Amino acid sequence: MTQRLDYEHISPGGMKALGGVYMHVANSGLGKNLVDLVYLRVSQINGCAYCIDMHTRDLASAKTPLSKIALVSVWRETGTLFTERERAALEWAETLTLVSQTHAPESTYRAVAQHFSEKEIVDLTIAIGLMNTYNRIAIGFGRGPANVDMQNAA
């Protein structure tokens, strides 16, 4: 895939503003591993190769077990591999990423509220919204995975 335009160069102020939100999430206290799991799941749903690659690498660098990384997309089927808190965050991420289909039901909100404080729910929701925005930017402007030669990937 060829990148359509260099959005970071064209709109540095916009990208810097998103970077500020990214730093807010990073400093929110949610925990880097939890946030990266959520970022990976959102990116899987949206089909963002650039972000899937990045967050898979981030999780691997943090020594997250490969089995856990590989099974994020099917977390419901993994028994106790994911903690209850992670499961609630992943369900919230899916619900909000697919909000036009799910309409964010009360039952899903109650499930996430059992494991997160009100501030954490807001920050988690900001993280989910941010990753959806980053996915749309990367997909819309044709940004592929870093350091992957798409011609020789097969």
Phi, psi of 79 (to 5 degrees): 65, -120
**pLDDT on residue 2:** 85
> Residue 55: in which H helix or E strand, if any?
helix 49-61
CB 25 within 8 A of CB 122: no
Instruction: Give the Cα-Cα-Cα angle 94, 101, 46 (nearest 5 degrees).
Output: 45
CB 125 within 8 A of CB 96: yes
CA distance 144 to 15: 18
CA distance 88 to 92: 6
CB 112 within 8 A of CB 85: no
151 has pLDDT over 90: no
Q: Which CATH architecture has domain 13-140?
A: Up-down Bundle (1.20)
Q: Choose between 4 and 146: higher pLDDT.
A: 4
**pLDDT on residue 106:** 98
Phi, psi of 8 (to 5 degrees): -65, -35
pLDDT digits (tens, 9 = 90+) for 81-121: 999 999 999 999 999 999 999 999 999 999 999 999 999 99
Q: How confident is the model at residue 146 (pLDDT cuts 50, 70, 90)?
A: confident
**3-state DSSP call for residue 144?**
coil
Instruction: Kindly report which listed range (4-8, 18-22, 48-52, 143-147) carries the lowest average pLDDT score.
Output: 143-147
Cα–Cα separations (whole angstroms), residue 14 to 8, 18, 34, 81, 138: 8, 6, 26, 38, 14
Residue 21 CB coordination number (10 Å):
15
1 has pLDDT over 80: no
154 has pLDDT over 50: no
Tokens 């799991």 belong to: 37
pLDDT digits (tens, 9 = 90+) for 9-68: 999 999 999 999 999 999 999 999 999 999 999 999 999 999 999 999 999 999 999 999
